[in-house]
Amino acid sequence: MTALDLNLRRVYGAYPTGVAVVAGLAGGRPVGIAASSFVPVSLDPPLVSVCVAHTSTTWPLLRELPRIGISVLGAHQEDVGRRLGARTGDRFAGVGWRSTPGGGVLVEGASAWYECTVEQRVRSGDHDIVVFRVHDLDAAPDVPPLVFHASAFRRLG
Ligand SMILES: Cc1cc2nc3c(=O)[nH]c(=O)nc-3n(C[C@H](O)[C@H](O)[C@H](O)COP(=O)(O)O)c2cc1C
């Protein structure tokens, strides 16, 4: 890793984000990743986006699914963010989840959720910007969000 790589990670990480779980049912079992790159994009049509690394081994499974769930984690779900963002292990072990009728996977207790289909993929360097169309969504305003900043999980306030 070069000095520039290190600076990019450090300086990109200075931008605070939420933590989303992008997940679906593949072969009857939940698969997914944590993503700090989730961004709402458009109101009409309703579109959101996530940047996915070309190295992801889970994304090729997810992108084929008819529906994908995106859950915005709550402040109490740091363990879920850590587990879903880990490179190894059973990511959904001990995680409460439910599937939508279309096969998207949503994390129970999240502060917001979306049910989506893949609308567009834009290759950008070592990531794809994946644009999703939103088919259903809801939010729990009483659940404060989990925050990711400077490589650490944090809470607001
Ligand atoms: C807090 C956090 C945020 C992450 N955000 C992203 C992201 O926005 N895009 C991405 O491709 N990977 C992100 N990752 C890494 C993935 O969650 C996952 O570890 C990676 O895709 C490797 O797993 P895979 O090979 O099963 O896909 C993040 C990890 C953590 C812990």
> Residue 81: CB within 6 Å of ligand 1?
yes
- pLDDT tens-place string over residues 99-141: 998 899 999 999 999 999 999 999 999 999 999 999 999 999 9
Two structure tokens written together for 21: 């779980």
Question: Cα(137) to centroid of ligand 1, in Å?
Answer: 22
pTM over 0.75: yes
Residue 151 lies in a domain: no
Residue 100 lies in a domain: yes
- pLDDT tens-place string over residues 67-85: 999 999 999 999 999 999 9
Q: In terms of pLDDT, which residue wins out, 63 or 5? A: 63
The preferred substitution site among 22, 56, 59, 126 for testing ligand 1, maximizing ligand atoms within 8 Å of CB, is: 56
Nearest Cα neighbor of 31 from 109, 111, 96, 104 is: 104
Are the C-beta atoms of residues 137 and 62 closer than 8 Å to each other? no
Task: Work out the angle at residue 154's Cα, subtended by the Cα atoms of residues 150 and 157, and round it to the nearest 5 degrees.
Answer: 115
Beta-bridge mates of residue 154: 147
Nearest Cα neighbor of 34 from 48, 12, 17, 11 is: 17
Range of the domain at 113: 20-146
CA–CA gap between residue 80 and residue 146 (Å, rounded):
10
Q: Quote the pLDDT of residue 63.
A: 95
Residue 6 lies in a domain: no
Q: Domain containing 122 — which CATH number?
A: 2.30.110.10
